[in-house]
A and B are shown apart, each in its own frame.
Chain A
Amino acid sequence: MFEQPGEFTRQIYSVSDLNAYIRALLESNENLIDIWIAGEVSNLSKPRSGHIYFTLKDMDASVRCVIWRVHANRLAGVFRDGMRVEAHGNVSVYEGGGQYQLYVDGIRAAGEGRLYQEFLLLKDQLTAEGVFEESRKRPIPPQPKLIGIVTSPTGAALQDMLNTLLSRFPITEVVLSPASVQGEAAPAQIVKALERLNKFARPDVILIGRGGGSLEDLWAFNDEQVVRAVAASEAPIISGVGHETDFTLTDFAADVRAPTPTGAAVMAVPDINDIKIGLNGWSLLLEQSMGDVLGLQQSKLTEEKNRLDLLSPGWQIKQRMQRLDNLSLRMDHLVNRYFLQKKQQLELAEEKIVSFDPHNILGRGYVLVEDKKGNVIKTIKQVQLGQDISVHVSDGMISADVTSIKEKE
């Protein structure tokens, strides 16, 4: 070993170093990041760790692939062994095995990329034509009497829809217009089934849909003729195609888009339990209306009773008694006033009489002169010189002789 000393002077790397170096090389190569690889799935394995391992292969080659647990839940359902897929991810190295691998974070059925391009193109075209206009959407009748269904007679979607309708709103009727929902013949069959339904059954609403599947499985619902037929349907349409995350052009053209066939059935009908509760509300409303009617009649009755009371003998007597009281009061008043007036007149007369009493005048300095016979002397002609006269003053009488008589000038 030591005969070739030159070998000892070279740098020696460990396996770990080698693999780490290769890994760094691959991971820094822009061509190996964010790439799509097409191939067939094989050796699919889903150990309990939650990661998914499989091999992608074509005619001549194969590559190991890993889906880490963070992506595994999302992607596990969309592919299986033997399926042709397109996987997205980046290339790196599993250093423990010295093996380069594709680390996958997205996966789709082969051809979906092309289908998606077609989808976008048709979507743009129909959008431009106004096929998806919000203003074209019609309301769904709240309690449809007849519901049309366009789907496969053998699919799980039909059973889902029927079960949902039965449990929510069994008083409705259902007409199935069968159509294949997958494969070459599906679009034409769906169009015919829709037309037949509108022509012969004339349902209040139509449910159209199918269960989940690959984008290719759902492709019939992106067919231009199907989309146009949905938009042109006489009855409003609820679409329920695939899963929550699947959007088809049929969904855009439908009046309402439901996430699944079951969801479409839910949206088509109310819950009968709510209706039963509503019926209790009707019952209450009816009782209340009747209560109002009775109340109205009661108040009418009270009003009539009041009017009748006005006409009763008792009321009449009361009325007359009151009138009598009234008259009596007025009379008292008149009588009082009469006597008061007379009293005042009397007082006035008394004052006058008093003022005429001659003795009253004597008090003020006047005197009353009489002859012996008591005649009041008013003129000089009644007296002669020497005659006895009586002069009356306020508090007595003075006897006097006439000593002179003079006539007024």
Chain B
Amino acid sequence: MAKKPASIENQNYEQALTELEDIISSLENEPSGLEKSVAIFERGKALIKHCQKLLDSAEMKVRQLEEDGSMSRLED
């Protein structure tokens, strides 16, 4: 399990969900101290909250690919 205490705020939805999966599987399969478990659990709760926020505030980014391979913001 990759232990990266990356700031939750900077994670995108996928990353947050991946870490959440790791957290749950570690709680289920790797017995560790109570204090550590509680800390992991708290982080899981924060990740879920973060995911919810991302889902609620998502704004789809749409760009256009130009012939030279550059991307420009697509106005609609």
Q: How far is the CA of A174 from the CA of B48 in the complex (A)?
A: 25
Give the contacting residue for A276; candidates B14, B20, B55; CB below 8 A.
B55
| Nearest-neighbor residue (CB-CB) of A192 within chain B | B67
**Chain B positions within 8 Å of A201 at CB level:** 65, 71
Asked if B24 and A286 sit within 8 Å, CB to CB, the answer is yes
Whether B5 sits at the interface, judged by CB under 8 Å, is no
Q: A97 CB to closest chain B CB, in angstroms?
A: 54
Whether A335 sits at the interface, judged by CB under 8 Å, is no
Asked if B63 and A176 sit within 8 Å, CB to CB, the answer is yes
Asked if B23 and A286 sit within 8 Å, CB to CB, the answer is yes
Asked if A174 and B27 sit within 8 Å, CB to CB, the answer is no
**Chain B positions within 8 Å of A172 at CB level:** 60
| Nearest-neighbor residue (CB-CB) of A203 within chain B | B65
Whether A279 sits at the interface, judged by CB under 8 Å, is yes
Asked if B24 and A285 sit within 8 Å, CB to CB, the answer is yes
Asked if B64 and A153 sit within 8 Å, CB to CB, the answer is yes
Asked if B48 and A171 sit within 8 Å, CB to CB, the answer is no
**Chain A positions within 8 Å of B61 at CB level:** 173-174
Asked if A296 and B62 sit within 8 Å, CB to CB, the answer is no
**Chain A positions within 8 Å of B55 at CB level:** 171, 272, 275-276, 279
Q: A297 CB to closest chain B CB, in angstroms?
A: 5
What count of chain B residues pass the 8 Å CB interface test?
Answer: 34
Q: A189 CB to closest chain B CB, in angstroms?
A: 10
Q: How far is the CA of A293 from the CA of B24 in the complex (A)?
A: 11
Asked if A286 and B44 sit within 8 Å, CB to CB, the answer is yes
**Chain B positions within 8 Å of A162 at CB level:** 60, 62, 76
Q: How far is the CA of A193 from the CA of B69 in the complex (A)?
A: 10
Q: B16 CB to closest chain A CB, in angstroms?
A: 10
Give chain A's interface residue range (CB within 8 Å of chain B).
35 or more
| Nearest-neighbor residue (CB-CB) of B42 within chain A | A290
Q: B7 CB to closest chain A CB, in angstroms?
A: 19
Q: How far is the CA of A278 from the CA of B14 in the complex (A)?
A: 14
Whether A213 sits at the interface, judged by CB under 8 Å, is no
Asked if A175 and B65 sit within 8 Å, CB to CB, the answer is yes
Q: Contacts A165-B60, A276-B55: A177 and B20 contacting too (C-beta < 8 A)?
A: no
Q: Contacts A200-B65, A292-B28: A286 and B59 contacting too (C-beta < 8 A)?
A: no
Asked if B27 and A290 sit within 8 Å, CB to CB, the answer is yes
Q: How far is the CA of A317 from the CA of B64 in the complex (A)?
A: 85
Give the contacting residue for A199; candidates B44, B69, B74; CB below 8 A.
B69
Q: How far is the CA of A275 from the CA of B54 in the complex (A)?
A: 12
Give the contacting residue for B63; candidates A174, A283, A292; CB below 8 A.
A174
| Nearest-neighbor residue (CB-CB) of B60 within chain A | A170
Q: How far is the CA of A266 from the CA of B69 in the complex (A)?
A: 27
Q: Contacts A171-B58, A200-B69, A201-B71: A176 and B52 contacting too (C-beta < 8 A)?
A: no
Asked if B65 and A293 sit within 8 Å, CB to CB, the answer is no
Q: A82 CB to closest chain B CB, in angstroms?
A: 33
Q: What would be 29 A-B contacts, judged by CB atoms less than 8 Å apart?
A: A145-B12, A148-B65, A153-B64, A159-B76, A162-B76, A171-B54, A171-B60, A172-B60, A174-B60, A174-B62, A175-B71, A176-B62, A176-B63, A176-B74, A193-B65, A200-B69, A272-B55, A279-B48, A279-B51, A282-B17, A283-B45, A283-B48, A286-B27, A289-B24, A289-B41, A290-B27, A290-B41, A292-B28, A293-B27
Q: Which residues of A contact B (CB under 8 A)?
A: 143, 145, 148, 153, 159, 162, 165-166, 169-178, 192-193, 196-197, 199-201, 272, 275-276, 279, 282-283, 285-286, 289-290, 292-294, 296-297
Other A-B contacts than A197-B65, A272-B58, 17 sampled, CB-CB below 8 A, are A153-B64, A169-B60, A171-B60, A176-B64, A192-B67, A196-B65, A196-B67, A199-B69, A279-B48, A282-B51, A283-B45, A286-B27, A289-B28, A290-B41, A292-B27, A293-B37, A294-B34
